[in-house]
């Protein structure tokens, strides 16, 4: 490969390009999520919070949560040399920015797919420039800014989600609940995250029970 | 369906290129600004450029991601944190016949675009084959849990984190948490800002420029929100 290209990819401008690309993709992924209910490039806890916020029209909690993460990661990124794309891009740009724009009534920025690609890229350019400026201004930094406390709390929320899904599943329907239990047990014993197992289990067992006429699921009666 | 595939390819290619290129740059941090996460770097180091290790590590997360996207439409953070970086590493090493290709941002960016497009499109289309009744079950299970997550789990988690972090964190998180609950009907933003202010007060003192400007900024923000929500008597 051309060594000129390889050299460019190690430069600061390349960081801006890469950030523009990833933010564009993630932000447009949220646009796709609002349109088709698939494609959200983040964990389920953020996607359901966004969906719930869209349903109720109350965005403050989501903006506060995701904005806090974005803020913390943008400050931390230049200090340690690695920007955390989980809190910074996926949560901050994928969850927080759509919520911010929707709460301000700027629906077109996120609901139009092509516009969202451009908006996402612009967000990436702005954020990467901020990071590069902080790198220059604060070589020794401000210390931690309390980011590790926030990240710890963020992870706590993720772990709460599994048990709450289980409670919610069995409250909704006996068979969905038993399926959720089965899925969680299998995933737990295989040492993988239980959330995927819970939903898949609830869906499969609930659906089979519905087809067998064991439950109406409160729908289609 | 064609629309979904088309858009998925674009999203996957863009996000995949960024994530893989950023991951390769992590090997050159802190001199070069990388992006990804320390966890990703550690996991990639564990596979150490062996294509089979990288590939099988990513493959393990495809199944859990498939579960998440089928149930709740989210591809899970594993796609950009684990699958894309590790698969890009595997295919870069193989494709470019270069054992160190996974540390090369240029090669990884190209491979990341391809891997991202394929993975995202596969997962997104997979979800559309699910019967509507199944999707309804998922939404009935998830929706109440999501409501609880936003309130009270979210504010409580941050509040507890603040209280256990120290005197200053707990103090400011409690002050701003209460105000946020009144002003925004959710204490979480107040608790988060309280943690940041508390850290600043602990590090630099209450009278430092940083603490005072943060306090003023947050107070002004809350005041403006309260005004526009009609909570002030003028």
Q: Are residues A84 and A164 in the same domain?
A: no
Mean pLDDT of chain B: 88
Q: How far apart are CA B57 and CA B200, in angstroms?
A: 40
**Distance (Å, whole) CA B19 – CA A215:** 44
The last residue of one of the domains, among A145, A171, A200, is A145
On the question of pLDDT at A157 being above 90, the answer is: no
Confidence of residue A180 (pLDDT cuts 50, 70, 90): very high
Q: Averaged over B198-214, what is the pLDDT? A: 88
Decide if A8 is inside a domain. yes
The predicted pLDDT at position B76 comes to 84
A137 in a domain, yes or no?
Answer: yes
CA atoms within 13 A on the CB side of A100: 17
- Residue A218 in any domain: the answer is no
Residue showing tokens 């629309």 = B3
CB B188 to CB A64 under 8 A?
yes
* Among A9, A60, A169, beta carbon nearest to B184: A60
Q: How confident is the model at residue B18 (pLDDT cuts 50, 70, 90)?
A: very high
DSSP state at residue B214:
H
B11, A42 in Cβ contact below 8 A?
A: no
CA separation for the pair A68, A157 (Å, rounded): 14
**pLDDT tens digits, residue range B46-101?**
888 888 888 888 887 887 788 788 877 888 888 999 999 999 999 999 998 888 88
Average pLDDT over residues B179-204: 87
pLDDT tens for residues B137-158? Answer: 887 887 788 778 878 888 899 8
Examine residue A168 and state whether it is found in any structural domain, yes or no: yes
Structural domain contains residue A153: no
Q: Residue B129: closest CA among chain A residues belongs to which residue?
A: A38
Among residues A91, A122, A145, the one where a domain terminates is A145
pLDDT the model gives residue B42: 81
Mean pLDDT, rounded, for B176-201: 88
Cα B212 to Cα B147: distance, rounded to the nearest angstrom: 35
**Domain identity same for A35 and A69:** yes
Please check whether residues A138 and A61 belong to one and the same domain.
Answer: yes
User: Is the ipTM above a cut-off of 0.85?
Assistant: no
On the question of pLDDT at B102 being above 50, the answer is: yes
Q: Are residues A119 and A176 in the same domain?
A: no
For residue B229, is pLDDT > 80?
no
How far away is chain B from the Cα of A211, in angstroms, using its nearest Cα? Answer: 10
- A221 falls in which pLDDT band (50, 70, 90)? very low
Inter-chain contact B149–A25, Cβ cutoff 8 Å? Answer: no
Distance from CA of B175 to the nearest CA of A (A): 16
Residue A128 lies in a domain: yes
Interface of A with B in 153-212 (CB under 8 A): 153-154, 156-157, 160-161, 164-165, 167-169, 171-173, 176, 180, 187, 192-193, 195-200, 202-204, 206-207, 210
CA dist., res. B102 & res. A26, Å (int): 23
Q: Which residue of B has its CA nearest to A144?
A: B199
Cα dihedral A122/A126/A132/A136 (nearest 10): 150
Question: What pTM was computed for the model?
Answer: 0.80
- Note whether B72 contacts A19, CB cutoff 8 Å: no
Q: What residue ranges do the domains of chain B occupy?
A: 2-127, 133-228
Residue that finishes a domain, picked among A104, A123, A145: A145
Strand, helix or coil for residue B38: helix
Rounded to a whole number of angstroms, the distance from the CA of B57 to the nearest CA of chain A is 13
Clarify whether residues A113 and A66 are in a common domain: yes
The pLDDT value recorded for residue A143 is: 56
- B76 chain-A contacts, CB cut-off 8 A: 42-44, 196
Instruction: Provide the number of structural domains found in chain A.
Output: 2
Flag whether pLDDT at B190 surpasses 60: yes
* pLDDT tens by residue, A16-46: 999 999 999 999 999 999 998 888 998 888 8
A179 is in which domain, residue-wise?
Answer: 159-211
A220 located within any domain: no
Nearest CB among B14, B66, B150 relative to A21 is that of B14
Please count the residue pairs, one from chain A and one from chain B, whose beta carbons lie less than 8 angstroms apart: 363
Residue A220 has pLDDT above 70, yes or no: no
Percent of chain B surpassing pLDDT 90: 40
Nearest to A168 among B144, B160, B184 (CB): B144
Max Cα-Cα span within chain A: 66
pLDDT (mean) for A131-147 = 71
What's the rounded Cα separation, in Å, for the pair B1 and B3?
Answer: 5
Q: Please give the average per-residue pLDDT across B159-165, as a whole number.
A: 93
Among residues of chain B, what percentage have pLDDT more than 70? 100
| pLDDT, mean of residues B193-201 | 89
Please give the pLDDT value at position A184.
93
Contact A82, B35 (CB under 8 A): yes
């Amino acid at each position: 490969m051309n060594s000129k290209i390889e050299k460019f990819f190690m430069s600061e401008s390349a960081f801006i390009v890469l950030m523009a690309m990833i933010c564009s993709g993630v932000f447009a992924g949220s646009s796709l999520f609002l349109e088709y209910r698939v494609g959200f490039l983040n964990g389920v806890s953020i996607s359901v919070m966004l969906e719930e916020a869209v349903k109720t029209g109350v965005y403050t909690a989501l903006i506060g949560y995701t904005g806090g993460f974005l803020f913390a990661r943008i400050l931390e990124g230049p200090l340690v040399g690695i920007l955390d794309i989980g809190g910074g891009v996926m949560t901050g740009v994928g969850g927080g920015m759509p919520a911010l724009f929707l709460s301000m009534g700027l629906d077109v920025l996120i609901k139009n797919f092509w516009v969202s690609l451009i908006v996402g890229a612009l967000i990436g350019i702005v954020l990467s420039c901020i990071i590069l400026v902080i790198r220059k201004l604060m070589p020794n930094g401000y210390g931690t800014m309390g980011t590790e406390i926030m990240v710890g709390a963020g992870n706590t929320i993720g772990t709460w989600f599994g048990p709450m899904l289980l409670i919610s599943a069995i409250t909704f329907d006996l068979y969905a609940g038993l399926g959720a239990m089965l899925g969680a047990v299998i995933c737990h014993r295989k040492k993988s995250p239980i959330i995927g197992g819970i939903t898949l289990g609830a869906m499969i067992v609930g659906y089979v029970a519905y087809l067998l006429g064991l439950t109406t699921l409160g729908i289609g009666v | 369906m064609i629309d979904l595939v088309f858009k998925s390819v674009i999203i996957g290619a863009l996000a995949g290129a960024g994530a893989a290129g950023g991951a390769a740059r992590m090997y050159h941090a802190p001199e070069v600004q990388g992006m990804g996460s320390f966890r990703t770097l550690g996991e990639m180091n564990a596979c150490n450029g062996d294509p089979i290790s990288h590939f099988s590590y990513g493959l393990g997360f495809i199944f859990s991601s498939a579960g998440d996207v089928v149930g709740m439409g989210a591809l899970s953070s594993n796609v950009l944190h684990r699958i894309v970086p590790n698969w890009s590493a595997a295919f870069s090493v193989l494709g470019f016949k270069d054992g160190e290709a996974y540390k090369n941002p240029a090669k990884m960016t190209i491979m990341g675009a391809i891997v991202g497009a394929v993975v995202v499109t596969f997962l997104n289309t997979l979800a559309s084959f699910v019967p509507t009744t199944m999707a309804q079950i998922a939404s009935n299970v998830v929706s109440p849990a999501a409501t609880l997550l936003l309130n009270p789990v979210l504010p409580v988690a941050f509040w507890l984190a603040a209280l256990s972090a120290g005197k200053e964190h707990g103090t400011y998180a409690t002050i701003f948490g209460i105000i946020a609950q009144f002003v925004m009907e959710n204490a979480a933003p107040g608790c988060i800002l309280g943690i940041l202010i508390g850290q600043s007060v602990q590090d630099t003192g209450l009278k430092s420029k940083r603490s005072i400007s943060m306090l003023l900024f947050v107070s002004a923000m809350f005041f403006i929100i309260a005004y526009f929500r009609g909570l002030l008597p003028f």
